[in-house]
Structure 1
C-alpha cells in the first residue's frame, strides 16, 4: 500500500530541520557538481526562504519521520528531495504523482544531475527550454521541462 501524502501547511521546527537534512543529504548524493561553498550558499536560502515560498507535501515512514518532500508553486514543481538512504523506493514518484494530481505541469532540473533528468523524462516530462545559469545566476545549466 502506498503511504498517504501529507500536506505541510505549517512547519514545526522539527519538520523544518528534517526537510533541511533531507535536502542536504539529497544534494550531496546527486549534485556532485556543487562545491561545499555552493551547498553552504544555498542551505540558508532553502531553510529561510525557499521552503516558505512553496506548498509543501511530504511522505513519512511508520515512525513518523519525513522521508521525502515536494514543493510546488501553482503549476510548477519547485523542489523534490528524497532521503538519499531511501532513493529508489518510489517516494519521489509518489510525491510527483501527488503534485501532478494537484496541477503541477512543469519542473526545472539541473542539467548536471542526469539521474533527476532521467527521472522526470520517465514520468513523461519533455524539455522545452534550457538556461545556461540557475536562478541565482550561478553557472549550473537548467533544463526547463513540462508535461501536457
Structure 2
C-alpha cells in the first residue's frame, strides 16, 4: 500500500490557490491545523454559492481538489473547519468565507461589516459580505532574449 507521504516527491512545492489548467481548475490550500477545507463556487455575479466541495488532504498540510469543467472567470472562496478556541488562537468557522490570498483578481473591494466579527454558531455566513477570487489563466512565460551587449562591445 502506498502511503500518502510516499506519493509527494522530495522538494515538491505545490501551487496554492486556484490554478486554471486543461479541463478544469485545481484548488489547493495549506493549513497545518484545519480538520476540513472546502472550496465554495459562486455564480457569475459572485452572489450565490452554487456548490461547496471538500478538498482532500495531500500531505504536509496541503489539501487540494481538481474540479473538471470549471474555467477562467470562475468565482470562488475557501472555507475551513477545525478547533474554535479564540482565547487560544484558533478561530475556525466554516460559515466564514476566506478569500484566496494567491488570487490575482477579486470581484469587488473589501467592505467592513460588523457581521464579519460574528462568533462561531451565530449563523452568519459571510459569503455575501466578501469579495470572491476570480480564477485567471496565468500568462505564459516570456522567453529570455540574448544579451544586447557582447563582451567587449560596450565603450564607456
Bigger RCO (CA 8 Å, 6+ sep):
2
Q: Give TM-score, length-normalised by structure 1.
A: 0.30
Q: Please identify which structure carries the higher helix content.
A: 1
Larger Rg computed on CA atoms: 2
